Chain A
Amino acid sequence: MSAFSQNPRPWIIRVLFVALAIILISRLFSLQLVDDKYKAMADGQAIFRKVVYPARGAIVDRKGKPLLTNTSSYDLVFIPNKIKNLDTALFCEVMATNKETFLKTMKKLINRNGYQRSSVYETALSTEKNARLQENIYLFEGFELQERSSRTYPLGIGAHIFGYLNEVSERMLNNPRYASYRQGDYVGQSGLESKYEEVLRGQRGVEYMVRDVLNRPRDSYKNGTLDTPSIAGKTLELYLDADLQAYGEKLMQGKIGSAIAIDPKTGGILAMVSGPTYDPNLLSGADFSKNYLELSRNYTRPLFNRAILAQYPPGSTFKPLTALIGLDVGVITPSFGYPCSGGYYACGRRIGCTHHNAGHAANLRLAMANSCNAYFCHVFRLTVDAKKWAGGLHEGLQRWHDYLSSFGLGHPLGIDIPNENPGSIPDTSYFNRIYNNRWNSCNMVVVGMGQGEIDMTPLQLVNAMCLIANKGYYYIPHFVKSIDGNGKDTMLRPYLEKHQVTHIPDSAFASVIAGMEDVVTKGTGKVAALPGIEVCGKTGTVENYANIGGIRTKLDNHSVFVCFAPKNDPKIAIAVIVQNSGYGATWAGPIASLMMERYLTDTIKGPARIALQEKMYNANTVKSYIRVIDSLQRQKDLMRDLLRTADKRTKDSVKKMRDTMLVKQILRDFYELKKKRHYDDGMRYQLEN
Chain B
Amino acid sequence: MSQGRKPITNRIDWPVIFLYLALVSIGIAAVYSVEYISFSEPFFNMSKSHMKQLTWLCISLVVGLIILLTDSKFFSAVAYLSYLMGIVLLLATFALGSEVKGSHSFIKFGSFSFQPGELCKIFTALALARFLSTPETNFKTLKDRLIAGAIVLLPCLIIIKQNETGLALVYFSFFLAMYREGLPNSILAIGFSIVGLVLGTLLLERLPLFIIITLIPILAFLLLRRQIKRNKIIIIVIAGAWVIAVLFSQVIVPYVFKHVFQPYQTERIYSMLGQDIPEEYQKPGTVIKKDANYNVRQSKIAIGSGGLWGKGFMNGTQTKYSFVPEQNTDFVFCGIGEQFGFIGSSILILLYVTLLLRIVAIAERQRSLFSRVYAYCVASILFFHLAINLSMTMGLAPVIGITLPMLSYGGTSLLSFSILLFILLRLDADRQMLIR
Look across to chain B and name the residue whose beta carbon is closest to the beta carbon of A20.
Answer: B387
Q: A38 to B383, Cβ gap below 8 A?
A: no
Residues of chain B at the chain A interface (Cβ within 8 Å): 176, 179-180, 300-308, 315, 317-318, 320-323, 337-338, 341-342, 345-346, 349-350, 352-353, 356-357, 360, 363-364, 376, 379, 383, 386-387, 390-391, 394, 396
Q: B364 to A10, Cβ gap below 8 A?
A: yes
Question: Contacts of A16 on B, CB cut-off 8 Å?
Answer: 176, 383
Most A-side CB within 10 Å, residue of B176, B305, B356, B364: B305
Look across to chain B and name the residue whose beta carbon is closest to the beta carbon of A21.
Answer: B353
Question: Contacts of A213 on B, CB cut-off 8 Å?
Answer: 321-323
Question: Contacts of A24 on B, CB cut-off 8 Å?
Answer: 349, 390-391, 394
- Assembled-state Cα–Cα distance A43/B306 (Å): 11
With contact pairs A25-B346, A46-B321, A210-B317 given, residues A33 and B387 touching in the complex (Cβ less than 8 Å):
no
Q: A45 to B318, Cβ gap below 8 A?
A: yes
Question: Contacts of B390 on A, CB cut-off 8 Å?
Answer: 24
With contact pairs A31-B394, A32-B307 given, residues A20 and B301 touching in the complex (Cβ less than 8 Å):
no
Question: Contacts of A14 on B, CB cut-off 8 Å?
Answer: 357, 360
Question: Contacts of B349 on A, CB cut-off 8 Å?
Answer: 21, 24-25, 28
Question: Contacts of B364 on A, CB cut-off 8 Å?
Answer: 10
Is A27 located at the chain interface by the 8 A CB criterion?
Answer: yes
Is A615 located at the chain interface by the 8 A CB criterion?
Answer: no
Question: Contacts of A28 on B, CB cut-off 8 Å?
Answer: 303, 337, 342, 345-346, 349, 394
Binary contact track A381-413/B, C-beta < 8 Å → 1, others 0: 000000000000000000000000000000000
Assuming A10-B360, A32-B303, A212-B321, what are 18 further A-B pairs, CB within 8 angstroms?
A10-B364, A13-B180, A13-B360, A13-B379, A20-B353, A20-B387, A21-B349, A25-B346, A32-B341, A32-B342, A38-B300, A38-B301, A42-B305, A45-B301, A45-B318, A213-B321, A213-B322, A222-B315
Q: A9 to B180, Cβ gap below 8 A?
A: yes
- Assembled-state Cα–Cα distance A593/B208 (Å): 98
Is A177 located at the chain interface by the 8 A CB criterion?
Answer: no
- Assembled-state Cα–Cα distance A45/B322 (Å): 11
- Assembled-state Cα–Cα distance A616/B106 (Å): 92
Binary contact track A526-547/B, C-beta < 8 Å → 1, others 0: 0000000000000000000000
Is A112 located at the chain interface by the 8 A CB criterion?
Answer: no
* Cβ 8 A contact of A13, one of B176, B323, B337, B353: B176
Q: A37 to B304, Cβ gap below 8 A?
A: yes
Q: A47 to B317, Cβ gap below 8 A?
A: yes
- Assembled-state Cα–Cα distance A92/B180 (Å): 68
Question: Contacts of B379 on A, CB cut-off 8 Å?
Answer: 13, 17
Is A290 located at the chain interface by the 8 A CB criterion?
Answer: no
Considering the complex, which residues of chain A in the window 220-250 have a beta carbon less than 8 Å from any beta carbon of chain B?
Answer: 221-222
With contact pairs A33-B342, A210-B321 given, residues A41 and B305 touching in the complex (Cβ less than 8 Å):
yes
Q: A31 to B350, Cβ gap below 8 A?
A: no
Question: Contacts of B318 on A, CB cut-off 8 Å?
Answer: 42, 45-46
Q: A17 to B350, Cβ gap below 8 A?
A: no
Which 7 A-B pairs give the minimum distances between C-beta atoms? A38-B304, A42-B305, A212-B321, A46-B317, A21-B353, A32-B342, A31-B304
B343 to chain A, nearest CB (A): 9
Q: A212 to B322, Cβ gap below 8 A?
A: yes
Most B-side CB within 10 Å, residue of A10, A21, A25: A21
Q: A32 to B345, Cβ gap below 8 A?
A: yes
Binary contact track A16-55/B, C-beta < 8 Å → 1, others 0: 1110110111011101110101110111011100000000
Look across to chain B and name the residue whose beta carbon is closest to the beta carbon of A7.
Answer: B180
Question: In terms of DSSP, what is the predominant structure of the interface of chain B?
Answer: helix
Is A211 located at the chain interface by the 8 A CB criterion?
Answer: yes
B342 to chain A, nearest CB (A): 4
Question: Contacts of B315 on A, CB cut-off 8 Å?
Answer: 222
Question: Contacts of B317 on A, CB cut-off 8 Å?
Answer: 42-43, 45-47, 210, 221
Look across to chain A and name the residue whose beta carbon is closest to the beta carbon of B345.
Answer: A28
Q: List 15 A-B contacts (CB under 8 A).
A: A9-B180, A17-B360, A17-B383, A20-B383, A21-B350, A21-B352, A27-B394, A28-B394, A39-B305, A42-B304, A45-B317, A45-B318, A46-B318, A210-B317, A222-B315
Most A-side CB within 10 Å, residue of B179, B302, B318, B364: B318
Is A218 located at the chain interface by the 8 A CB criterion?
Answer: yes
Q: B303 to A31, Cβ gap below 8 A?
A: yes
- Assembled-state Cα–Cα distance A359/B188 (Å): 135
Look across to chain A and name the residue whose beta carbon is closest to the beta carbon of B180.
Answer: A9
Binary contact track A203-218/B, C-beta < 8 Å → 1, others 0: 0000000111100001
Question: Contacts of A13 on B, CB cut-off 8 Å?
Answer: 176, 179-180, 360, 376, 379
Question: Contacts of A221 on B, CB cut-off 8 Å?
Answer: 317
A30 to chain B, nearest CB (A): 9
- Assembled-state Cα–Cα distance A222/B179 (Å): 51
Question: Contacts of B321 on A, CB cut-off 8 Å?
Answer: 46, 210-213, 218
With contact pairs A32-B306, A32-B308, A38-B301 given, residues A45 and B353 touching in the complex (Cβ less than 8 Å):
no
Question: Contacts of A23 on B, CB cut-off 8 Å?
Answer: 396
Question: Contacts of B179 on A, CB cut-off 8 Å?
Answer: 9, 13
Question: Contacts of B391 on A, CB cut-off 8 Å?
Answer: 24, 27
Q: A27 to B396, Cβ gap below 8 A?
A: yes
- Assembled-state Cα–Cα distance A37/B300 (Å): 10
- Assembled-state Cα–Cα distance A35/B303 (Å): 11
Question: Contacts of A32 on B, CB cut-off 8 Å?
Answer: 303-304, 306-308, 337, 341-342, 345
- Assembled-state Cα–Cα distance A32/B344 (Å): 11
A6 to chain B, nearest CB (A): 11
B118 to chain A, nearest CB (A): 22
- Assembled-state Cα–Cα distance A212/B321 (Å): 4
- Assembled-state Cα–Cα distance A73/B119 (Å): 60
Question: Contacts of A39 on B, CB cut-off 8 Å?
Answer: 304-305, 307
Look across to chain A and name the residue whose beta carbon is closest to the beta carbon of B356.
Answer: A17
- Assembled-state Cα–Cα distance A351/B43 (Å): 99
A217 to chain B, nearest CB (A): 10
B202 to chain A, nearest CB (A): 15
Considering the complex, which residues of chain A in the window 128-155 have a beta carbon less than 8 Å from any beta carbon of chain B?
Answer: none
B212 to chain A, nearest CB (A): 13
- Assembled-state Cα–Cα distance A447/B231 (Å): 128
Question: Contacts of B341 on A, CB cut-off 8 Å?
Answer: 32
Look across to chain A and name the residue whose beta carbon is closest to the beta carbon of B303.
Answer: A31
- Assembled-state Cα–Cα distance A17/B387 (Å): 9
- Assembled-state Cα–Cα distance A37/B301 (Å): 8
- Assembled-state Cα–Cα distance A29/B360 (Å): 27
A197 to chain B, nearest CB (A): 37
Q: B305 to A38, Cβ gap below 8 A?
A: yes
- Assembled-state Cα–Cα distance A42/B363 (Å): 44
A206 to chain B, nearest CB (A): 17
Question: Contacts of B352 on A, CB cut-off 8 Å?
Answer: 21
